Amino acid sequence: MKVPFLDLKAQYASIKDEIADALQQVLDNAAFAGGPFVENFEKDFASFCQCEFAIGVGSGTAALWMVLLSMEMDPGDEVITAPNTFIATAEAISFCGAKPVFVDVDEQTYNINPDLIEDAITPKTKAVIPVHLFGQMADMDPIMEIARAHKLFVIEDACQAHGAEYKGRRAGSIGDAGCFSFYPGKNLGAYGEAGAIVTNNAELADKLRMFRDHGQEKKYYHSMIGWNARMDGFQSAVLSVKLKYLAEWNEARRKNAQLYNSLLANLDSVITPEEADYAKHVYHIYAIRTRTRNAIIKALAEKDIFCGIHYPIPVHLQDAYEFLDNKKGSFPVAERCAEEFVSLPMYAELSENQIKSVCHEIKSFLEVRV
């Protein structure tokens, strides 16, 4: 049975008429950059995230960068984060003139290990960016306690965690700000590039709104040096349609994950994802761990089942960050995970039969190797 890694067409087919109507409204109103459709989405997304404010921007990377800039990073300041993330987390830090400082991750959740954060803090530390990897939130209570004790900002990288929860609180609502990507493959994905920042800080929200629009309080009156990071009307219209279904789609992902877990249970050579007792995981990525990764991926591909790897090289070992002089072995848990992760097909529209087929082929492959 053919099982694509991601099937955006299946989701589109289920909302095709609503999407067409939403895009037509943007065309009819010629509201292409900013405007009422963006404002409507921001209001609804803030409510969804249990926050006072949402600011639509051009991408998740822009969201992270803008929040860091708003916190007035000075050259040489340090920002603590995890090494097993998409490089955008570190890029945003670097483009503010600050230095990424990595901390190893928890073996079960793959999120930053709070027990290791305090040892990484120096007089230059300005902020902590916990990354809610794969759709599960980091352990926020100890992170916030440490940050407040040291007067550090906390920026949630929630780019993979739309609707995820920590003790009943939504991703983005706990730190000083939360940053989201709406890249098309995300749980809440646009039909192009888009992102958002959520916060409960009115002053920060006002500052970010000005920054994304060239620092304008009103047209041609520039109170600060800003940038062009606006969300466009088409993307906000698409996201408004999809947001209505996000909770339902997340529950479908959770159900799919439970089926994967049950079918892959008791396989000695496979580690399935673990949901922390504090968390509601939304499974943007369903990543198993196995030491036979490359062979499994090849065997599944031969059966028309397609997988991915998130992420094969931790950020601290990327050539781009060689100058930080972090050697192999610096963060052993993150490095071990990077060598073992296999991302299986995961999306709301995935059928029970498709999941059973994936698991059958994994078991068949492992039985042959015994």
Tens of pLDDT, residue by residue over 224-236, are 999 999 999 999 9
Q: What's the pLDDT score for residue 240?
A: 98
User: In which band, very low, low, confident or very high, does the pLDDT at 360 lie, cut at 50, 70 and 90?
Assistant: very high
| H and E: helices and strands count for the chain | 12, 14
282 vs 47, 199, 363, CA distance in Å?
18, 21, 25
Please state whether the predicted TM-score (pTM) of the whole model is above 0.95: yes
Cross-strand bridge partners of residue 127: 79, 153
Cα 315 versus chain centre, distance: 15
Q: Where are the domains of the chain?
A: 8-243, 246-369
User: In which band, very low, low, confident or very high, does the pLDDT at 367 lie, cut at 50, 70 and 90?
Assistant: confident
Mean pLDDT, residues 4-12: 97
Contact 223, 217 (CB under 8 A): yes
- 172-219, pLDDT tens digit by residue? 999 999 999 999 999 999 999 999 999 999 999 999 999 999 999 889
Q: What's the pLDDT score for residue 45?
A: 99
Buried b (16+ CB within 10 A) or exposed e, 36-45: ebbeebbebb
User: In which band, very low, low, confident or very high, does the pLDDT at 138 lie, cut at 50, 70 and 90?
Assistant: very high
Using DSSP, state whether 238 is helix, strand or coil: helix
Q: What's the pLDDT score for residue 290?
A: 98
- 18-57, pLDDT tens digit by residue? 999 999 999 999 999 999 999 999 999 999 999 999 999 9
User: In which band, very low, low, confident or very high, does the pLDDT at 369 lie, cut at 50, 70 and 90?
Assistant: low
355 vs 101, 126, 282, CA distance in Å?
38, 44, 17
Query: Which CATH code for domain 8-243?
Result: 3.40.640.10
Share above pLDDT 70 across residues of the chain, in percent, rounded to a whole number: 99
Q: What's the pLDDT score for residue 41?
A: 98
Q: What's the pLDDT score for residue 368?
A: 67
The answer to whether residue 317 scores a pLDDT higher than 60 is yes
The answer to whether residue 362 scores a pLDDT higher than 70 is yes
- 64-99, pLDDT tens digit by residue? 999 999 999 888 999 999 999 999 999 999 999 999
- 331-354, pLDDT tens digit by residue? 999 999 999 999 999 999 999 999
In this structure, the number of other CB atoms found within 10 A of the CB of residue 4 comes to 15
Q: What's the pLDDT score for residue 136?
A: 98
Contact 267, 120 (CB under 8 A): no
User: In which band, very low, low, confident or very high, does the pLDDT at 222 lie, cut at 50, 70 and 90?
Assistant: very high
State how far the Cα of 110 lies from the Cα of 104, in Å rounded to an integer: 9
Q: What's the pLDDT score for residue 223?
A: 94
- 238-293, pLDDT tens digit by residue? 999 999 999 999 999 999 999 999 999 999 999 999 999 999 999 999 999 999 99
Q: Are strands 165-166 and 279-280 parallel, antiparallel or unpaired?
A: antiparallel
Q: What kind and span of H or E run contains 342?
A: strand 341-344
The pair of structure tokens assigned to 267 is: 């396989």
Mean pLDDT, residues 154-182: 98
The pair of structure tokens assigned to 57 is: 């921007």
Architecture of the domain delimited by 246-369:
Alpha-Beta Complex (3.90)
